[in-house]
Chains A and B, each alone.
Chain A
Amino acid sequence: VTYKWLSYTLGVHVNQAKQMLYDYVERKRKENSGAQLHVTYLVAGNLLQNGYVCHKVAVVREDKLEAMKSKLSTLASVHVYSIQKALLKDSSPLYNTDYDIVKSNLQHCSKFSAIHCAAAVLRTPPDAPRTPAPAPSTQRQRDPDAAGVVNGHGPPAAKPPPQQPRGIMGMFAAKAAAKSQDTPKETKAEAKEAPGMSAASSKAPTKNSIMNNFFGKAAMNKLKANSVPEQPKEEKEVVKPSVAVAEPESYPNTVAEKPGKKAESARIQQKDKKSKMKRADRSDDEEERDPENVKKKRKRIKQLQSDSSDEEDVPPSPTPEEERAPSPPPVPALKTELEPASTEGSSGERKRKRKRVLKSKMFIDEEEGCMGKTG
């Protein structure tokens, strides 16, 4: 239990978390309850090193605390860093705890910090030609208008961030009812995902609910399109990895996910080489169960497929680069719009419906053992 983990989990200021930890240690020790607690402290101060007065910040175990304090010429701060039951051999568990908790809270990682920076606002988008009237958006939103990109006429957005679509699906499941153009298949998918996702979604409340919904839907559509024609076992596998992924890593809807996801969808639409890729993607997903790599693999395979020749030595880099190049202008740009987004979303979904039908055909074909591209 590190102070940062406590701060995020309880939603308190980091200083309060540190004090809470200290208080807990003191009380437990006074009780003499017998359970041995090992505490690590953070010590900071001035130290003479190599002829320079160096400011040293160190995490030390309790037994080394006094030694470190005496080494420092002036003590700047000392506080409890973490408490654990077992004696730590090295600091990697501390790092891992912090890494995980920060990763699941990336959007507001400075919320409980002691310093607030007024300048850290999201970039305001330049004027986007496809979005008529800017709708009010929360400050944390960023470029939900990449919705426009999904319609296929925009260049795909930036390189997909490491989020899993399932994380978005989790968000989507939580905010299922809000979006107006819900189609039945989405609600179905949502229901499927809901039990798995509820845990994930509860962990990460977001403000951009509507955009998330749209985005989530887009992702859902894609995944649904894959999962529906698949056999039940495959569907289950799709859900399972998503559940597995979403829970440990439940990302809140980072806005970056959206453009990335849309990039994927857009790419899908643009390239028109869906099922083989999807199939390959699915199998990759199921094989690897590695959330981080799925997106990358999807992207790579997509690019491999996008070359008509079956050459595999198409390096992924040129294609994303050229895709990236046009995308940064629209991507970091735009504010949300509710109405245009929804209309665009619905058209996107229509396209995806079409795609889905195609895919089912393809799946059947492939299940018959035919490896050629059809339809």
Chain B
Amino acid sequence: MFSEQAAPTAQGLLAPPSAKAPTFPRVPVSGYLDCSQPFQLGERSFSWQYAHIYAVRLAGMRPGLERCARRRWGNDIALRKLSELQAGEKCCVVGTLFKAMQLQPSILQEISEEHNLVPQPPLPKYIQPSDKLILEDELQRIKLEGAIDVQRLVTGTILAVYGSEQDDGRFLVEDHCFADLPPPLPWNGPSSNRFVLLASGLGLGSVSGEALLSTQLLVDVVTGQLGAEGEQSCAAHITRVILAGNLLSQNTQSRDTINKAKYLTKKTQAASVEAVKMLDEILLQLCTSVPVDVMPGEFDPTNYTLPQQPLHRCMLPLASAYATLRLVTNPYQANLDGVRFLGTSGQNISDIFKYSSMDDYLEILEWTLLAGHISPTAPDTLGCYPFYKSDPFILTECPHVYFCGNAPHFQSKLLQGKEGQRVLLVTVPDFSATQTACLVNLHDLTCQPITFSGFGADSE
């Protein structure tokens, strides 16, 4: 995208100084609407049991699932609750999935004294062939077997299964279906090329400094300092930058100071303090030139449970002086120039990765969209606020751009739905590892990765 437009004047700056250098005005923000109110928690009360989330989730998704089931298996199928099942009758049941996994870390096992178990070290994947699937609804649960991929599914998914109950009390599944893509949103995209830069995993505060030059190059490209005139004019079309989480690196999370003696740690300060200062400076440079949305991630100083609340603005005193800085929640939903963005910092996808046989982040992203729920594994294996009135993670409208941050590498795909939905799925790679960010073109819903590199001692 950039390159074709920029190519003609590529070598323009290899010349003696010209009289006046052009400056390009940034394309103005035409339509921005923050739609992430469901993810903003006001007063938080933790006195509710987590069972309520499942109840509201099921209640919220049941109508959609029943519609899908009817569409798929015919209008005349019998929709039954588990309590109404009769042996041998073919029917369809809607319920929550529960996967009983042997390797799933359980706090109860850890503290159990009889077993004398050492706490389980974190594994990349917790799946095992012996995992079992159980379907639950409001009152009962039943074991599932049959044409259903046990390894692939995760706890917390709401689905509809079609089959019959066996004599031994198990449900033999012949087919199953998910909620499918939510209804589409009208498309009001911009008429000319507008870009949004998605980056995640800046990883400031890490011990290694290789990514720092790349981060600086990223800032320079976006603020228009880098590149020849053609590239700078293209960069002026970047209307927004979204930083999807993990602005600080994992190294800032060290909690050694808690274990050390007080006199040793008196003069030290948390590594995150230094990192937040660096972040503030980088954000200041960006904010003077482009609107920025900052989403918190796994290692950022905000709450652990989903939905993560925005970073507090006092942590970024320099940058929050500018109106172009927006501190937003994770997950984040907004209308940018008529295009609906929805995305997370990647904790939901990586959690599903751990508990499912799906290996590809893009595949998991697509699956969550089809399952109609951003993060089905919350609250089972992913921390979540105990919602009891409604589950904000249910997808009610189909976004135009659906992204997740901190993926191992960049992937993108345009998904077409049956009802005319067009979704661009983007897995935003971790910048500190790959030095790659994504440029999404709002006009035609395409995405291009943009890589930065300096030269090291081992240049190729």
Chain A residues with CB under 8 Å of chain B are 4, 7, 12-16, 18-20, 22-23, 26, 40, 42, 44-47, 49-50, 52-61, 64, 74-80, 88-92, 94-95, 98-99, 102-103, 106, 108-110, 112-124, 142-143, 158-159, 161-162, 254-256, 259-260, 284, 288, 292-293, 296-297, 300, 312-313, 324, 327-328, 331-332
Which residues of B (317-369) have their CB < 8 Å from a CB of A?
317-318, 320-324
Q: Is B415 an interface residue (CB 8 A)?
A: no
Instruction: Assess the B457–A59 pair: CB atoms within 8 A.
Output: no
B345 to A: closest C-beta gap in Å: 22
Given A58-B454, A296-B269, A76 contacting B321 (CB threshold 8 A)? no
Instruction: Assess the B262–A312 pair: CB atoms within 8 A.
Output: yes
Most chain B CB within 10 A, of A4, A45, A108, A162, is at A162
Chain B 199-225: CB-based contact to A (< 8 A → 1; otherwise 0): 000000000010011001100110111
Instruction: Assess the A159–B230 pair: CB atoms within 8 A.
Output: no
Most chain B CB within 10 A, of A44, A53, A99, A284, is at A44
Residue in chain A with minimal CB distance to B26: A117
Q: Is B21 an interface residue (CB 8 A)?
A: yes
Instruction: Assess the A162–B277 pair: CB atoms within 8 A.
Output: yes
Residue in chain B with minimal CB distance to A311: B262
Q: A57-B450, A117-B289, A120-B290 are in contact. List 13 more A-B contacts (CB 8 A).
A: A14-B224, A45-B3, A76-B3, A77-B228, A80-B13, A92-B209, A114-B22, A114-B24, A114-B236, A117-B25, A120-B288, A123-B322, A296-B273
Give the number of A-B contacts (CB < 8 Å).
285
Q: How distant is the Cα of A258 from the Cα of B325 in the complex, in angstroms?
A: 20
**Which stretch of B130-138, B155-163, B278-286, B397-405 is in the interface?**
B278-286
Q: Is B1 an interface residue (CB 8 A)?
A: yes
Q: How distant is the Cα of A123 from the Cα of B280 in the complex, in angstroms?
A: 16
Instruction: Assess the B281–A106 pair: CB atoms within 8 A.
Output: yes
Q: Is B111 an interface residue (CB 8 A)?
A: no
Q: Is B126 an interface residue (CB 8 A)?
A: no
Tell which of B266, B274, B454, B457 touches A94, judged by Cβ atoms closer than 8 Å: B454
- For the complex of A and B, 8 pairs with smallest distance between CB atoms: A115-B224, A77-B228, A91-B454, A158-B314, A79-B13, A13-B21, A256-B317, A117-B26
Q: Is B2 an interface residue (CB 8 A)?
A: yes
Instruction: Assess the B228–A79 pair: CB atoms within 8 A.
Output: yes
Q: List, in ascending order, chain B residues with CB within 8 A of A23's CB.
A: 15-17
Q: List, in ascending order, chain B residues with CB within 8 A of A18's CB.
A: 13
Tell which of B233, B269, B287 touches A120, judged by Cβ atoms closer than 8 Å: B287
Q: How distant is the Cα of A14 from the Cα of B229 in the complex, in angstroms?
A: 10
Which residues of B (1-45) have their CB < 8 Å from a CB of A?
1-4, 6-7, 9-18, 21-26, 28-29
Given A57-B217, A114-B232, A122 contacting B321 (CB threshold 8 A)? yes
Instruction: Assess the A123–B217 pair: CB atoms within 8 A.
Output: no
Q: How distant is the Cα of A171 from the Cα of B269 in the complex, in angstroms?
A: 28
Q: How distant is the Cα of A15 from the Cα of B16 in the complex, in angstroms?
A: 11
Residue in chain B with minimal CB distance to A20: B17
Residue in chain A with minimal CB distance to B291: A119
Instruction: Assess the B451–A142 pair: CB atoms within 8 A.
Output: no
Tell which of A4, A76, A117 touches B290, judged by Cβ atoms closer than 8 Å: A117
Most chain A CB within 10 A, of B2, B315, B452, B454, is at B454
Q: Is B445 an interface residue (CB 8 A)?
A: no
Residue in chain A with minimal CB distance to B29: A119
A15 to B: closest C-beta gap in Å: 4
Tell which of B3, B24, B232, B456 touches A91, judged by Cβ atoms closer than 8 Å: B456
Instruction: Assess the B1–A55 pair: CB atoms within 8 A.
Output: yes
Instruction: Assess the A19–B17 pair: CB atoms within 8 A.
Output: yes
Q: Is B249 an interface residue (CB 8 A)?
A: no
Instruction: Assess the B288–A117 pair: CB atoms within 8 A.
Output: yes
Most chain A CB within 10 A, of B9, B223, B274, B288, is at B288
Instruction: Assess the A57–B230 pair: CB atoms within 8 A.
Output: no
B373 to A: closest C-beta gap in Å: 29
What are 8 A-B interface contacts by the 8 Å CB criterion?
A14-B21, A44-B6, A52-B412, A58-B454, A90-B454, A91-B456, A297-B267, A324-B312
Instruction: Assess the B315–A56 pair: CB atoms within 8 A.
Output: no
Given A13-B23, A116-B23, A54 contacting B448 (CB threshold 8 A)? yes
Instruction: Assess the A76–B16 pair: CB atoms within 8 A.
Output: no
Residue in chain A with minimal CB distance to B25: A116
Residue in chain A with minimal CB distance to B454: A91
Instruction: Assess the B226–A57 pair: CB atoms within 8 A.
Output: yes
Instruction: Assess the A15–B322 pair: CB atoms within 8 A.
Output: no
Residue in chain B with minimal CB distance to A25: B14
Given A53-B448, A59-B217, A114-B224, A15 contacting B314 (CB threshold 8 A)? no
Instruction: Assess the B324–A56 pair: CB atoms within 8 A.
Output: no
Instruction: Assess the A115–B273 pair: CB atoms within 8 A.
Output: no
Q: List, in ascending order, chain B residues with CB within 8 A of A312's CB.
A: 262, 266
Residue in chain B with minimal CB distance to A99: B216
Q: Is B46 an interface residue (CB 8 A)?
A: no
Q: How distant is the Cα of A256 from the Cα of B318 in the complex, in angstroms?
A: 5
Instruction: Assess the A332–B10 pair: CB atoms within 8 A.
Output: no
Instruction: Assess the B230–A77 pair: CB atoms within 8 A.
Output: yes
B254 to A: closest C-beta gap in Å: 15
Tell which of A4, A95, A158, A260 touches B225, judged by Cβ atoms closer than 8 Å: A4
Q: List, in ascending order, chain B residues with CB within 8 A of A95's CB.
A: 209, 212-213, 216, 454
Q: List, in ascending order, chain A residues with CB within 8 A of B10's CB.
A: 45, 75-78
Q: List, in ascending order, chain B residues with CB within 8 A of A60's CB.
A: 455, 459
Instruction: Assess the A109–B284 pair: CB atoms within 8 A.
Output: yes
Instruction: Assess the B21–A313 pair: CB atoms within 8 A.
Output: no
Q: Is B392 an interface residue (CB 8 A)?
A: no
Residue in chain B with minimal CB distance to A59: B454
Q: How distant is the Cα of A215 from the Cα of B12 in the complex, in angstroms?
A: 46
Q: List, in ascending order, chain B residues with CB within 8 A of A56's CB.
A: 450-453
Most chain A CB within 10 A, of B11, B13, B26, is at B13
Q: How distant is the Cα of A146 from the Cα of B452 in the complex, in angstroms?
A: 41
Instruction: Assess the A89–B266 pair: CB atoms within 8 A.
Output: no
Given A76-B231, A113-B224, A120 contacting B322 (CB threshold 8 A)? yes
Q: Is B176 an interface residue (CB 8 A)?
A: no
Q: List, in ascending order, chain A residues with CB within 8 A of B236's CB.
A: 114-115
Instruction: Assess the A114–B322 pair: CB atoms within 8 A.
Output: no
Q: List, in ascending order, chain A residues with CB within 8 A of B228's CB.
A: 15, 76-79
Q: List, in ascending order, chain A residues with CB within 8 A of B26's CB.
A: 115-119
Instruction: Assess the B227–A76 pair: CB atoms within 8 A.
Output: yes
